[in-house]
């Protein structure tokens, strides 16, 4: 299991990177062991991921009561966990081929380790928004607007990590982040067609 120390260090590093402080890189374990251990981050992320997915559906339901929405039952929870695991594995596998194709393979291990850890920072940073909505402090409309802004900031943050860890061009970083988003949409769309969730 992950230790409190490595989680604290990685979150500190992720926070510093969010402030565009490249000194945050030194807080991550980018060894081979650190690379494999970074995949364990999916465990603390999972409950936040499912809860956040529930809040997003509730926001949409409140904004458009006439719409058709998923039933949040055990099947919904299970499929969200499966989707999280698929997302967690498919992008790193795809990046093996992409980094080799564009000559960035030497940075692959460090990049995936940091990218994985940054996911925990992102979901913890977004959690207060979902909490404010769940407590009725902000409306669905306000939560939706903030969500759009948050999504833009997350994309920029991802782009920045790609840029500095892989030490690549602005264009290549944009293409990698875009690929990550498109891949996620394709996986979710296909999985939704197959399962109804």
> Which tokens is 75 given?
């099947």
CB crowding 2-25: b at 16 or more within 10 Å, else e: eeeebeebbbebbbbbbeeeeebb
Distance CA 73, CA 11 (A): 32
> Over its length of 197 residues, how does the chain's per-residue pLDDT go in tens digits?
899 999 999 999 999 999 999 999 999 999 999 999 999 999 999 988 888 888 887 887 787 777 656 566 667 777 888 888 998 999 999 999 999 999 999 999 999 999 999 999 999 998 888 888 888 898 888 988 988 899 999 999 999 999 999 999 999 999 999 999 999 999 888 877 776 66
Q: What is the pLDDT of residue 144?
A: 85
Distance CA 2, CA 32 (A): 15
Q: What is the pLDDT of residue 14?
A: 97
Distance CA 121, CA 117 (A): 7
- The number of C-alpha atoms within 13 Å of 98 and in the hemisphere containing its C-beta is 21
Domain limits for position 29: 4-195
In 3-state terms the chain splits into helix, strand, coil percentages (rounded to 5) of: 85, 0, 15
Q: What is the pLDDT of residue 112?
A: 98
Q: What is the pLDDT of residue 135?
A: 87
CB contact at 8 A, 156 and 40: no
Please state the domain count of the chain.
1
């Amino acid at each position: 299991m992950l230790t409190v120390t490595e989680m604290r260090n990685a979150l500190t590093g992720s926070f510093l990177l969010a402030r565009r402080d490249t000194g945050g890189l030194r807080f991550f374990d980018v060894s081979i062991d650190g690379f494999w251990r970074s995949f364990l981050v999916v465990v603390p992320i999972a409950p936040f991921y499912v809860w956040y997915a529930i809040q997003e559906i509730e926001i949409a339901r409140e904004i458009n009561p006439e719409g058709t929405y998923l039933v949040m039952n055990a099947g919904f929870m299970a499929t969200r966990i499966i989707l999280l695991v698929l997302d967690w594995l498919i992008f790193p596998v795809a990046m093996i081929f992409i980094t080799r194709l564009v000559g960035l393979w030497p940075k692959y291990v460090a990049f995936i380790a940091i990218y994985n850890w940054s996911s925990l920072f992102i979901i913890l940073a977004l959690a207060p928004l979902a909490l404010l909505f769940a407590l009725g402090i902000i409306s669905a409309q306000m939560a939706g607007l903030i969500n759009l802004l948050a999504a833009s900031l997350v994309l920029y943050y991802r782009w920045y990590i790609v840029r500095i860890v892989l030490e690549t061009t602005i264009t290549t970083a944009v293409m990698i982040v875009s690929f990550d988003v498109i891949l996620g949409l394709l996986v979710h769309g296909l999985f939704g067609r197959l399962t109804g969730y």
